[in-house]
Every structure is written in structure tokens, then in C-alpha cells.
């Protein structure tokens, strides 16, 4: 991956970071589109693997952005990606602090939150869908994703336990 590629990735993620209202899962499908479909920097499977690894690792889930960057461009790719996604968040939060925006019930903030919430949920579901498809395990993979989703909704199992069960199912050859 050339410096030019890393620069392009940095700018794309920077732009998405500025609109990632509702968390990073809302922009995941577009980072996937850019890295996998448009630029071919990594494969769909590598993208899904990096996301899963970051979930299993300690720390904010946002670190999946560093891992897809690492997979595409080594340590410089990882640093460029995580800085690009966090820079807008840092800037906007500092502005909010400076403006003492401590009123989340101000009319515009309320309208933004209420209006954008359903759109953000749609993006989040699209993220799950994109990930499930890129695992490339056919219907057993979809079944495992579905069973995990059901387990989250119906039980109080820790997500880490569910990831471990997924890994076990993979090693056992079930998917």
C-alpha cells in the first residue's frame, strides 16, 4: 500500500468520521465499500475478521478501524485510520465543551437526535448484514449470526462468551 493509498484512506475515513453520529457501526458499511469494493485494499473476509478480532480485544470497540487499517497498510495504515476516525470526534466534542453544550434537550439537538435515530439504526442493521455476508460461509454462517443475535436478545450471556462459542463452532467445522 503506497503513501498515496494511505492518504486516500485517511481522507475517506476522516470524512466519514465527521458524520458518524450514533457510533461507528453506522459508517462501517461505507468503510467496507471503500476498502473492499472500490479500492480492493483488503478482502471482505479480512474485513470481517478484523472486526471480530477487535471485538474480542480489550478497549473501545472503535479499534476495529485500526485493525482494518493495519490489514490494508501495516502499522502506518492502522495509525492513519484510527487518527482519521477520532480526529473529527475529538474536534466536535471539544467544540461542544467550549460552547458548554450541556443541554441535550435543546430543540435542534432534540430534532437531530429524534430524526436521525431511525436512520442510524438502519445503518447499524446494514453493518450487521454486510459483516454476515462477508464471512463467506453460506447459510451456516448466516445461521450462526442469527443464533448469536437471538442469544443476545433472549439471554444475558456475555458477548465474549458468544464470540468464543462462534470460534468453537468454526473450529468444530460447523460453519
Partner 1 sequence: MPSPLEIFVTFARVGISGFGGVNFWLRRVLIQEKRWITDAEFLEGFAVGQIIPGPNVYNLSIMIGHRMGGWAGAFAAIAGIMGPPFLVTLALGLLYRRYQALPVLEHAIGGMAAAAAGLVIANGLMLAAALPRRARPWIFLLLGFGGIGILHWPLLYVIAGLGPLATWLAWRDEARRRASR
Task: Kindly identify the residues of this chain, within the stretch 80-109, that bind partner 1 according to CB under 8 A.
Answer: 82, 85-86, 88-90, 92-94, 96-97, 101-102, 104, 107-109
Is 9 an interacting residue with respect to partner 1 (CB under 8 A)?
no
- Spell 14-44 as b/e; 16+ CB within 10 A means b: bebbbebebebbbbbbbbbebbbeeeebbeb
Q: Indicate whether 121 belongs to the interface with partner 1 (CB under 8 A).
A: yes
29 is an interface residue for partner 1 by CB under 8 A = yes
Report whether 68 contacts 82 (CB < 8 A): no
14 interacts with partner 1 by CB under 8 A: no
CA distance 170 to 175: 6
8 binds partner 1, rule: CB under 8 A? no
Q: Which of 4, 40, 139, 153: binder of partner 1 (CB under 8 A)?
A: 153
User: Please, what is the minimum distance in Å from the beta carbon of residue 171 to partner 1?
Assistant: 5
DSSP 3-state assignment of 71? helix
Amino acid at each position: 500500500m503506497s503513501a498515496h493509498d494511505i492518504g486516500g484512506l485517511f481522507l475517506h475515513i476522516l470524512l466519514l468520521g465527521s458524520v458518524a453520529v450514533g457510533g461507528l457501526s453506522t459508517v462501517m458499511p461505507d468503510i467496507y465499500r471503500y476498502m473492499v469494493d472500490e479500492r480492493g485494499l483488503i478482502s471482505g473476509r479480512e474485513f470481517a475478521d478484523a472486526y471480530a478480532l477487535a471485538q474480542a480485544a480489550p478497549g473501545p470497540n472503535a479499534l476495529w478501524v485500526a485493525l482494518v487499517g493495519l490489514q490494508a497498510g501495516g502499522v502506518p495504515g492502522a495509525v492513519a485510520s484510527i487518527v482519521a476516525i477520532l480526529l473529527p470526534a475529538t474536534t466536535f466534542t471539544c467544540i461542544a465543551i467550549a460552547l458548554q453544550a450541556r443541554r441535550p434537550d435543546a430543540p435542534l439537538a432534540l430534532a437531530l437526535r429524534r430524526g436521525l435515530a431511525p436512520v442510524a439504526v438502519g445503518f447499524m442493521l446494514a453493518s450487521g448484514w454486510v459483516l454476515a455476508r462477508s464471512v463467506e460461509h453460506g447459510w451456516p454462517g448466516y445461521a450462526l449470526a442469527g443464533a448469536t443475535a437471538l442469544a443476545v436478545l433472549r439471554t444475558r450471556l456475555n458477548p465474549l462468551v458468544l464470540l468464543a462459542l462462534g470460534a468453537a463452532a468454526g473450529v468444530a467445522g460447523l460453519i
